[in-house]
Amino acid sequence: MTMDQTTPQPEITVADAKDFLPLLGTDHVELIVGNAKQSAYYYMHAWGFQPLAYRGLETGSSDSVSYVLQQDKITLVLTTPMVADGPLNDHLNRHGDGVKAVALWVDDATQSWKETTSRGAVSAFQPETREDANGKVVLSGIETYGDTIHVFVERKAYGGVFLPGYQAWAPSGGAEAVGLKYIDHMVGNVGWGEMNTWCEFYAKVMGFAQLVSFDDKDISTEYTALMSKVMSNGNGRIKFPINEPAEGRKKSQIEEYIDFYQGAGVQHIAVATDDIITTVTELQRRGIEFLQVPKSYYDDLLDRVGAIDEDLEPLRKLGILVDRDDEGYLLQIFTRPVVDRPTMFFEIIQRKGAQSFGKGNFKALFEAIEREQALRGTL
């Protein structure tokens, strides 16, 4: 799919979002990883995800194994190939651990596939019905940026624990949940000049509308720069910001991602909590590493964002950032990459009215990322 970058883009607003593709929410996110058993342990013991389901040799799956974890409305699937060659291995070899499928919960997976492919989406797989004793599920898939796909999941006739082919999984041990509630947004990084192409894809193929855009004047520091647009579906439950690198004095953090991920892919998953101080306190206690801004960030914070409900001291101690827009404020913090390549990371976000994405924190945040890029020798 191509688009003439010089054509002025008409302003698309959320009111323009077309509901030919009603999305009920994010169904699950599937990561292809090198060692799903150990990744599952990490997401359970550090992040507080609870074990839900398993598919592997014991369930008749001989070429790959998957562990399904859940925390409130967030479902992660961790999949590892068990054979030498195949598409899972290609994904792993090329990208390292990363998100393969952003699965969307729909009423009709066949219709979702027809509506999107008829508007230009490339099919990842045709609608297929999977059944077991607990009922049936219809799945279909389309390609999006890089090797990432969207899977449409129709589960209204299914009463099983996850999907047919999986069995309930309840290992001993584990750890308490940390208060993560749902996926607030998932960000894709795409290559130079590709942001508008993919925003157009979400508008035309999936009926999304643009919520907001940031250009390199909003998001640049002395060195790095990027551009970003936020696409949302009609009911606002699914938000996909799309980033592309912009020219700066040194290498954009988006370019660093693209270099190491070997192409476009999911940059971060933002997960919501109702109590960010408790959530982040516990995550830090369990060893999750977060980006830290200079403590001077907090010196004039209340002058910038006005009165907030939280005490300043725990925010300063934990490194939680605050931003305000017309509708309220938000608190957020970003992990360091959770894989060895400087690619995927998480954001923890608590919204107190604000529906925006923390534009006021971009500069402090990106300077923190640049300090890490410098340590990696990739700035």
The residues binding Fe ion (CB under 5 A) are 270, 347
Pairing of the two strands 25-32 and 64-71: unpaired
The least distance separating Fe ion from the CB of residue 43, rounded to whole angstroms, comes to 19
The least distance separating Fe ion from the CB of residue 167, rounded to whole angstroms, comes to 35
Closer by beta carbon to Fe ion, 67 or else 240:
240
Length of the chain: 379
Closer by beta carbon to Fe ion, 244 or else 347:
347
Strand order, beta sheet including 50-55: 123-132, 135-143, 149-154, 98-106, 25-32, 74-81, 64-71, 50-55, 167-168
Question: What is the token pair recorded at 322?
Answer: 């605050």
d(CA 84, CA 81): 8
The least distance separating Fe ion from the CB of residue 184, rounded to whole angstroms, comes to 8
Closer by beta carbon to Fe ion, 147 or else 347:
347
Closer by beta carbon to Fe ion, 115 or else 347:
347
Amino acid symbol at 267: Q
Q: Which helix (H) or strand (E) holds 330?
A: strand 328-334
Closer by beta carbon to Fe ion, 347 or else 370:
347
The least distance separating Fe ion from the CB of residue 216, rounded to whole angstroms, comes to 18
The least distance separating Fe ion from the CB of residue 219, rounded to whole angstroms, comes to 12
The least distance separating Fe ion from the CB of residue 351, rounded to whole angstroms, comes to 12
d(CA 112, CA 366): 37
* Total Cβ atoms within 10 A of residue 62: 10
d(CA 53, CA 7): 48
Using the 8-state DSSP alphabet, how is residue 366 labeled? H
Q: Give the residue from 6, 7, 14, 2 showing the smallest Cα distance to 355.
A: 14
The least distance separating Fe ion from the CB of residue 332, rounded to whole angstroms, comes to 7
The least distance separating Fe ion from the CB of residue 368, rounded to whole angstroms, comes to 14
Q: Are 308 and 302 in contact (CB under 8 A)?
A: yes
Would you put residue 40 in left (φ > 0), alpha (ψ -120 to 50) or beta? alpha
Torsion of CA 340, 258, 289, 66, to 10 degrees: -60
Amino acid symbol at 248: G
